[in-house]
């Protein structure tokens, strides 16, 4: 992908984060799913958990960065819409490590990343906000030097990691959103936040576009839109649903000894 096209994709991706009309991302995990999703979606985003599972690894930066970089290169070559990558915690605990990883992802054609503060030295725990802000700042510098307006979606995990009461988790997320915005983040991603009243308050407490991940108990898309959410991610659920369908279909063929609908053009 040439730099002009990549920058155009970056600008288009930023513009998709609209108030009242959130970007809904049906997350991909390989080139085939990216191509299928791109027929009806204005952008592609990966789920780290789904990508890792497809490659035979556990989530949590266990899939080698070389594999991720190769996947992104093939994915950006295969679709004509913006591609954003779940970069987990930046593949390292330092700002330099995150900057190095981001540079590789940018070279592969990505125009956005998720970078999370809930993974430190391979363990699920909250990094200090200053440590994560340093990563964001370093990534922003790399993107600026590349000439690409990379969308940095800062993920914060107080709710997932049960930092405290829902009120304490909200306050921590809002505090971190402010710090991450000052470091150069473009969005704030808060997995595990499902209460509509708390979501509305978070939207009011931060100028950053709020990204909510779909899980049990999450309000419907229209409710999130009215609350001011500007991005909704389906995360690993599409892959889990696909694997369930494949498993059920395989079981049906095994038990019936018939091909079923697989030989029908629209089966």
Are 200 and 252 contained in the same domain?
no
Are 256 and 207 contained in the same domain?
no
pLDDT score for 259 = 85
Encode pLDDT of 167-186 as tens digits. 999 999 999 999 999 999 99
- Smallest CA-to-CA distance from 138 within 150, 126, 124 is with 150
Q: Measured in Å, how far apart are the chain's first and last C-alpha atoms?
A: 35
Q: Which residues of the chain have pLDDT under 50?
A: none
Q: How many angstroms separate the CA atoms of 103 and 68, rounded?
A: 13
pTM beyond 0.85: yes
Are 151 and 245 contained in the same domain?
no
Residue 211's alpha-carbon distances to 8, 55, 92, 194, 208, in angstroms, are 22, 26, 23, 11, 9
pLDDT score for 266 = 63
CATH number of the domain enclosing 80:
3.20.20.60
pLDDT score for 246 = 94
Are 207 and 254 contained in the same domain?
no
CA gyration radius, the chain: 19
Are 94 and 176 contained in the same domain?
yes
Are 217 and 178 contained in the same domain?
yes
Are 59 and 95 contained in the same domain?
yes
pLDDT score for 1 = 84
Are 159 and 262 contained in the same domain?
no
Are 229 and 213 contained in the same domain?
yes
- Give the chain's domain count: 2
Are 188 and 214 contained in the same domain?
yes
pLDDT score for 262 = 74
Are 59 and 190 contained in the same domain?
yes
Domain that residue 258 falls in: 239-267
pLDDT score for 265 = 60
Q: What angle do CA 62, 48, 201 make, to 5 degrees?
A: 130
Are 135 and 113 contained in the same domain?
yes
């Amino acid at each position: 992908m040439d730099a002009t096209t990549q920058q155009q994709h970056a600008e288009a991706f930023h513009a998709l984060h609209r108030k009242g009309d959130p970007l809904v991302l049906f997350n991909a995990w390989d080139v085939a799913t990216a191509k299928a999703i791109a027929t009806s979606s204005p952008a592609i985003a990966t789920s780290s958990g789904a990508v890792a599972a497809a490659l035979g690894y556990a989530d949590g930066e266990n899939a080698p960065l070389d594999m991720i970089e190769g996947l992104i290169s093939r994915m950006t070559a295969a679709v004509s819409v913006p591609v954003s990558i779940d970069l987990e915690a930046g593949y390292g605990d330092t700002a330099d490590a995150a900057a190095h990883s981001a540079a590789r992802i940018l070279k592969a054609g990505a125009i956005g990343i998720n970078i999370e503060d809930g993974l430190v030295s391979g363990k699920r725990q909250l990094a200090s906000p200053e440590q994560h802000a340093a990563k964001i700042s370093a990534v922003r510098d790399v993107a600026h030097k590349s000439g690409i307006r990379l969308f940095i979606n800062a993920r914060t995990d107080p709710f997932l990691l049960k930092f405290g009461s829902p009120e304490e988790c909200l306050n921590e997320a809002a505090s971190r959103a402010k710090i991450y915005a000052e470091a150069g983040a473009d969005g704030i991603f808060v997995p595990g936040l499902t209460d509509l009243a708390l979501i509305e308050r978070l939207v009011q407490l931060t100028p950053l576009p709020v990204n909510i991940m779909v899980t049990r108990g999450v309000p419907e898309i229209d409710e999130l839109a009215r609350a001011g959410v500007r991005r909704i991610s389906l995360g690993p659920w599409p892959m889990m649903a696909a694997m369930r369908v494949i498993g059920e279909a395989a079981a049906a063929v095994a038990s019936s000894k018939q091909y079923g609908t697989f030989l029908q053009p629209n089966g």
